[in-house]
Structure formats: C-alpha cells, structure tokens
Structure 1
Amino acid sequence: MELRVDVQLGSAEVDEELKSLHDRLVRSGILKRRTQIIKTPIADLRFHHREADGEHYIYVEDAARGCLAGYTVFNRLIEVNRRLDRFVRAPHSKYAADYQRRGIATAVYEWALAQGFCLVSGARQSPGAHALWQTLAKRHRLEYIDIRDKCIHVFGAQVDPSTENKLQTRMLLLGRGWAVDQGNSALVRSGQ
C-alpha cells in the first residue's frame, strides 16, 4: 500500500533549516542540557529531548562535526479527543542527507512507540518517510485509520485502493500498551 508518497524536500533547503535551528538551540542552551533518551551504536550523535505543550522534540546533534543531523517533532493532533490526545502524535522529521538511512529516525520513532505513543502518518509522505513506516510496521502493528468526530476509526491492516487514496486515510503505528477493539474498530489500551 502506497498512500500518497509525493513529498520531496531539497537537501540544500533542509541543510539551511538545520543550520539555522542548530544556531538557535546553541544560543538557547538546549544542546547543553543533554538528555540521553536513546541508546544507539552510532558514534558521536547526541539525542536531546525537549517537551513543550505536550509535544516532544528530539534533536539529533553530531557532536564531532558541531552540527544538527536532524530532528523529529511528535506533534499533538487537534483532531482527536482529550483521552487520545495524551497518547497520539503525528511525527514530522527532517534529517540532513548525510544522516539518512543510518537508522537514526528509526531509533527516534522506536523510542516514542516504546513510551506508549501511537503514531499517525500525515496525509502525504516522502519516499523516505514511507520506507521508515514500512520498516516499523514489521515490528509494530500498523492499521489504516480515519479521524472523524474527535475519534480514531480503524479500517484495518489492509484497505482497498479507493479507501487508501482518500486524503483522510492515515496510517497508525500502535505504541506499547495499545490494541484495536475489533468490535467497534476503536483504539483501546491493552487490557481495557
């Protein structure tokens, strides 16, 4: 299943944004308050975590090169009810070309899923983001969903092409402790 894989950012544009963001993070002191939330075999990378208004920001710094490798923001979704708002996030990532396909984004997303967050895809994805979601789906349950009336409605692990191509259709990766209630196609905490 492909969904809408049509987002492509230029590497120069991403590099410029990361340089600007790195400068702001250095000035603010955020990069001095290192929070090692992710254990990774990738040398010289530091993972900085910041939470603001329920959104989680993971900044990946290359300490040896003195630059930002990239970042992931786990955004809240205004489309869901208060109960789900605590657990459902829409991740958005940008990583410099030199740091792509090295398992960095996978490690960051795995961290969020292990925290019990369920991740919802955007309406559109880049080819790299889509590949990441397909890789994660080998280890985590992936469902196709629609968000209506502040609730997540689960279509299932597979959908027909017509449903898949609708702009409202999203992918959902279930975090630790979550399941799908097959009776009413809703997202529930395991054991509830």
Structure 2
Amino acid sequence: MTASTFCLHLPGHATATKAQSSPGLRGRWAQWLTELRIDVDLSGRDIQREFDALYDRIRTNHRTRDAMQPLTLHLRGLVFRLREADGEYFVYAIDPLRNRIVAYTVFNRLVEVDRRTDRHLRAPHTKVAHGYRRMGIATAIYRWWLDSGRCLMTGARQSAGAHGLWMALARDYELAAVRIDATKRVQQLQMPPPPGFFDALDTRLVLVGRDCSLADFTQPVACNGR
C-alpha cells in the first residue's frame, strides 16, 4: 500500500452545523455536565499490537478487505478506509509509510433504542495508537460522520478524552441531553437538568448532524424527568 493509492481530502469546516447555543450557554453546559459519567480508560499499552493483529486479519480475509472503501478524509499523510457490517460502521486510519493501522473508530448500533431511533443514531468508540494522539484523527472522523447528515449518541460511559472531544465539537454542532425511556424511545431534556440526573445510565449526550433535527427521533420531557 502506498500513499498515492488514496487521493482523499477532508471536508471543509464550512459544512458544519452550527450549535444552537451561545458561548454563555456552552459555559453553563460545562457546569451542568460535571456529573456526567467519565470513567472509561482506553489508554492501554497494547493498542498497537491489537491494531497490527487486526491489520493482519484484514489483509488475509479477502471479503473484509474487498468490503473496505476509501473514505474522503486526508489528515497528515494518513489514509482512511470504511467498512459497514450489520448497520455498524468501521473506520480505519492507516499510516501508509509504516503499513499499519494507527487508529480505529466503530459507530455502534445502540441496543437501548427502538428501531425508529436506530435509523438516526450511532455511538462512536475510538482507539488511537501512541504517537498518533492529538493529531485530530477522532475529530476528523466524527466531523465526517456529522457532516454526512447523521447523529451521534454517547454510550453509557465516556473517557475524559472523549468527553472533551464532544465539548469541542459542540462549538460547531448542536449538543443535547437526552434520556432513553423504558420503551426505548429517546426523550429530549429541558435544560438545565435537576441535580444528580446524569447519575442514571439512561441519560446520554447527542450531537446533531448537518441537516438533522432532534425532532426526527426525540420527544420532549419535563426537566424533572416525568
């Protein structure tokens, strides 16, 4: 694989959907969300070995290899591949000079939500190898997803780094707090939520993609959660 194999470019930030909030509101968001569950640690030392084993499996499995499509991203000489399987999307960042995967994002389906909501939301999870962090890889991938007109929801847990990324993206995309109810529907919360509300595992954050609307997959709920 060589760098010339892929002629890719990163979509301009001009396509981003602007958040429906002022700088002051973003500041209040930061205060409201201090209770959000941030306890995931994805900084394991064996990430690169995991990626190398994954790359070997891809190279030796022609069906998986053939299913991977070039992704229109270009970031610091890296190339990106996209694979879809059973409604989940897998993005691989590859260093062509070293011939190895250096970052990986999966956009998971959410078993917690109903079929109607499933059409709109995916939960992203990213791992980045040491030496490739703070390059904006996850930011570029998440922007590509959101600019493609799709939305993101947090999982039940977030790493501190992932939470920081979501807050940064909230400058350009609408950020909302939601709750998944007992019928697997997503309820949009009035803000600010009551103290301790984010202690519950059914409360999440959503980033709204370009040309999307929360009304497409949410219903309003009172701020007391009833």
Letter paired with 1:37: L
Q: CA deviation at 1:170?
A: 0.8
Q: CA deviation at 1:27?
A: 1.5
Letter paired with 2:48: D
Q: 1:137 is matched with which residue: 138, 156, 170? A: 170
1:89 maps to which residue?
122
Q: CA deviation at 1:41?
A: 3.7
- Inter-partner Cα distance in structure 2 for 1:184 and 1:52: 29
The percentage of counterpart residues that share the same residue type is 40
Letter paired with 2:145: A
Deviations 1:113-160, CA, capped at 9 Å, x for gaps: 122221110121111111111111111111111112121111146434
1:185 matched to 2:220? The reply is yes
Distance 1:14 1:161, change over 3 A: farther
2:209 maps to which residue?
175
SS in 2 for 1:185: strand
1:21 maps to which residue?
54
Letter paired with 2:120: F
Gap runs ≥5 in structure 2? 1-32, 222-226
Root-mean-square deviation over aligned CA pairs: 2.1
- Inter-partner Cα distance in structure 1 for 2:191 and 2:59: 43
Length-normalised TM-score, structure 1: 0.86
Q: CA deviation at 1:166?
A: 2.0
**Count of residues in correspondence between the two structures:** 184
Length-normalised TM-score, structure 2: 0.74
Q: 2:149 is matched with which residue: 116, 129, 137? A: 116
Deviations 1:11-33, CA, capped at 9 Å, x for gaps: 31322221211111122245577
What are the residue-to-residue correspondences of 1:136-175 with 2, within 5 Å?
136-148=169-181, 149-156=183-190, 158-175=192-209
Larger radius of gyration, structure 1 or 2? Answer: 2
1:190 maps to which residue?
none
Distance 1:74 1:156, change over 3 A: farther
SS in 2 for 1:12: coil
1:73 maps to which residue?
106
Q: 2:70 is matched with which residue: 29, 36, 51? A: 36
Letter paired with 2:117: L
SS in 2 for 1:11: coil
Distance 1:33 1:83, change over 3 A: closer
SS in 2 for 1:106: helix
- Inter-partner Cα distance in structure 1 for 2:47 and 2:194: 35
SS in 1 for 2:41: coil
Runs of 4 or more, structure 1, over 6 Å off, are none
Which has the higher relative contact order, 1 or 2, with Cα contacts under 8 A spaced 6 or more apart? 2
1:48 maps to which residue?
81
Deviations 1:75-112, CA, capped at 9 Å, x for gaps: 11122222221221011111112111111111111111
Letter paired with 1:138: R
